[in-house]
Chain A
Amino acid sequence: MSDDSQRALITGVAAVAPNGCDTNSYWAATLSGLSGLRPISRFESDGYPVRVAGLIDGLNPAELCGDRLAVQTDRWTQLALAAGERALADAELVPAELPPYDMAVVTASSSGGNEFGQLEIEALWSRGPRAVGPFQSIAWFYAATTGQLSIRNGMKGPCGVVVCEQAGGLDALGRARRALRRDASVVVTGGTEAPIGPYALTCQIASDRLSRTADPQRAYLPFDTDACGYVPGEGGAILIAERADSALARGVDQPYGEIAGYASSFDPRPGSGRPPTLRQAAEAALADARAAPHDVDVVFADGAGLPGPDAAEAAALAGLFGPFGVPVTVPKTLCGRLYAGGPPLDVVAALLAIRDGVIPPTYGIGELAPGCDIDLVREARTGRVQTALVLARGFDGFNAAVVLRAA
């Protein structure tokens, strides 16, 4: 089996979130309760039932990328390019100094270049086929972010993209770890999402899972008796995953942590009578990490924000850890569900919890829904955090779990 030198470490992180456009401000906001949920102002949204979104202010990713990249990328990719640069700087890793085929990029994306694609289709229908620009061919599709990160940084190793809605954000880390075992010594991973726009929102509304509450403080309440849907948001995080021996050779002495375990599962067909399989994913990830439930110091829950899925997640946690058996937190109440960007952001929060010895709270929750027998962390809880379990569920049945451990 793997020895210490083969462990998958996280050596750099960069968060870009509605409540903090860089890692430090995101973490401070997460601990202090600063929310990035706002009334939608990005476009004329009066006719839309969804009123609130997690929006990033104070950062212009198009400007950060420069004109040449800005014309050929969607906001979703621009956010990842900005975060990618910061994550590499955080890891003190200079791609030009490493063999190109030893470096890879594996990101997650749930909806690709929404706004870019929407504008090109508008051009098609209003001005004809000749008005569609050539960059539509590379800007909208799910792998665009991976491609641009790969090109920009000269990373020619096993690159790819995972598309599993929110669960993909953890699946990307799982694949990154797999790549580190054989094919690469560095993987740029994580993901971002930019799903706030007319077309993108219309697609999401069709799921009937989005909150229609207009008050940002009451719109997204996972595990609460008043749970009424979730708030979508933009942003995410890019992380640098590195094999331990390579990191050591580079002189890394303070990695954020280790991707110690990963597993995914898929729910049975609705109406089959069989239960959802989030618990199985969590159990398999713990087994992969050679950890027992009592080793886990905190669970970063998926937090669907809907009564049924909330109850299912709470039941999985109570079954695995015992009722109220482990601290559970959902810091994403302050930024919304960021689809492919959400779980990487949760991973950043978990790694910082390990670094700083503090569990970030779940802001805004009142009374827990009946049957949600979980120890939901309401105020920041200090104490040693050695092992964190991060969960993510994707629309229509995807489940993923990652175990992070102090390095």
Chain B
Amino acid sequence: MPATTMPTRAELSEMMKTVAGVEIDPGELQQEPQVTFEELGVDSLGLLGVLAAIERQYGIEIHADIDDCRTLADLEAIIRQAAGPGGRRS
């Protein structure tokens, strides 16, 4: 079990490369949390894969509508909610 339940920007970048085949510099993620996944070239299936990878790695269940997850900031908010005191762990 990792120390925190929030993936770093570097980890997210790695997941997007492995799961969705999209190469994004972690620094770019750092600077532009409002950039959309669509702009980054990660389609909805790729995003589902990233969410699943996060679930597996952090042992959490993410119950969110994929339509609510348009930007990196959205994703981080969703993860925080899933991993927080009220969130379930699998």
Query: Which of B13-21, B69-77, B81-89 has 4 or more CB atoms under 8 Å from chain A?
Result: B13-21
Question: Is B21 touching A66 in the complex (CB atoms < 8 A)?
Answer: yes
Binary flags per residue of B55-72, CB closer than 8 Å to A gives 1, else 0: 110000000000000000
One of A69, A131, A134, A137 near B21 (C-beta < 8 A) = A69
Q: Contacts A67-B17, A68-B41; is A134 near B22 (CB within 8 Å)?
A: no
Q: Which residues of A (94-152) have their CB < 8 Å from a CB of B?
A: 130-131, 133-135, 137-138
- Contact between B49 and A135, CB atoms less than 8 A apart: yes
Residues of B within 8 Å of A130, CB to CB, are 52, 55-56
Q: A69-B21, A70-B21, A71-B19 are in contact. Are A134 and B49 (CB under 8 A)?
A: yes
Q: How large is the interface on A (under 10, 10 to 19, 20 to 34, 35 or more residues)?
A: 10 to 19
Q: Mark B34-55, 1 if CB is under 8 A from A, else 0.
A: 0000000100011011001001
Tell me whether B41 and A133 are in contact (CB under 8 A): no
Measured between beta carbons, the chain A residues less than 8 angstroms from B22 are 67-68
Asked whether, in the complex, the Cβ of A71 is within 8 Å of the Cβ of B20, the reply is yes
B11 interfacial contact with A, CB 8 Å: no
User: Is B32 among interface residues, defined by CB-CB distance under 8 A?
Assistant: no
Q: Does B28 contact A (CB under 8 A)?
A: no
Q: Is B23 an interface residue (CB 8 A)?
A: yes
Residue in chain A with minimal CB distance to B22: A68
Q: How many residues of B contact A (CB 8 A)?
A: 15
Given the interface contacts A67-B23, A68-B20, does A134 sit within 8 Å of B56 by beta carbon?
no
Partner of A68, one of B21, B48, B55, B56: B21
Contact with B along A36-69 (1 / 0, CB 8 A): 0000000000000000000000000000001111
**Is B52 touching A134 in the complex (CB atoms < 8 A)?**
yes
Does A277 interact with chain B (Cβ within 8 Å)? Answer: no
On chain A, the residues within 8 Å of B49 by CB distance are 133-135
**Is A11's beta carbon under 8 Å from chain B?**
no
* Chain A residues with CB under 8 A of B20: 68, 71
| A134-193 with Cβ < 8 A to chain B | 134-135, 137-138
A134 CA to B18 CA, complexed, in Å: 13
**Minimal beta-carbon separation of B64 from chain A (angstroms):** 15
Q: Which residues of B sit under 8 angstroms from A72, Cβ to Cβ? A: 21, 45-46
Contact B17 A134, beta carbon cutoff 8 Å: no
Cα–Cα distance between A130 and B57 once the two chains are bound (Å): 11
In the assembled complex, the CB of A61 is this many whole angstroms from the nearest CB of chain B, namely 14
* Chain B residue nearest to A62 in the complex (CB): B21
- Let me know if A133 and B21 touch, CB within 8 A: no
Cβ of A397 to closest chain B Cβ, rounded Å: 37
Write out the residue numbers on chain A whose beta carbons fall within 8 Å of the beta carbon of B17: 67
B42 and chain A: residue at smallest CB distance: A68
Nearest CB in chain B to that of A69: its residue: B21
Closest residue to A70 on the B side, CB-wise?
B21
Contact between chains at B52 and A135 (CB < 8 Å) = no
Residue of A nearest to B51 (CB): A134
21 A–B contacts from the bound complex (CB under 8 Å): A67-B17, A67-B23, A68-B21, A68-B22, A68-B41, A68-B46, A69-B21, A70-B21, A71-B18, A71-B20, A71-B21, A71-B46, A72-B45, A130-B52, A130-B55, A130-B56, A131-B56, A134-B46, A135-B45, A135-B49, A137-B45
